[in-house]
Structure 1
């Protein structure tokens, strides 16, 4: 199931993740393709260049070099697996780095997939998760 989308800073996301039950196993994912048709080959090449090893394509995890050819006419979801962690004392700094990397790669979005099948989607403030539209903060008119 999908968790509610909450607008959060990296710091707040880290706090929420650390609140999960101890020993929760999780993956930190950066969503990079949301419901877009195509084979997305250049995307996989870029992921590999960036040094990431695993991707999740339409819910299945693959080594980035072994992703099967995608159907051009189907809509796909692609996430980069940024990190895999177990929630326990001492993970904060690694978690923070991974959260920041995921937000950067996912353009302000990040998913936490806990191994018990829960998925939490976070977005940094001012972006719309439905259409991916980012709302600039309004500058005060002088």
Structure 2
């Protein structure tokens, strides 16, 4: 989603342009965390993001997570760094940079009850908690024996 806020409502990465047959990510291992992105982009992108999200920008990581979760995309994914509201010090990878990548590790007790309850609330609010029921309704393709 961090590629969505270039002030153009037709940007394909904005949630209102999604179709159900999509996966939405707040970010991936190859880009900055949501907070890191927000801290480094220009005021124009920050302003568009605040207006689009109808939020102040104070809790940008969770604003993006909420927007992803309420979208029509079939699947929504948020990196742990965004759930923890971490800045660019927690970035996982810098593409084309051979050193210093994949060093970030989540502290042992970082996923606290507050974050868990916040995610549970959003999963319920936006009906993302029932994916197991949905998945059992789909007939899986024939798989080789070693996957059974």
- TM-score category of the 2 structures, normalised to the smaller one: under 0.3
Higher helix share: 2
What TM-score results when the alignment is normalised by the length of structure 1? 0.24
What TM-score results when the alignment is normalised by the length of structure 2? 0.23
More relative contact order in 1 or in 2 (CA 8 Å, sep 6+)?
A: 1
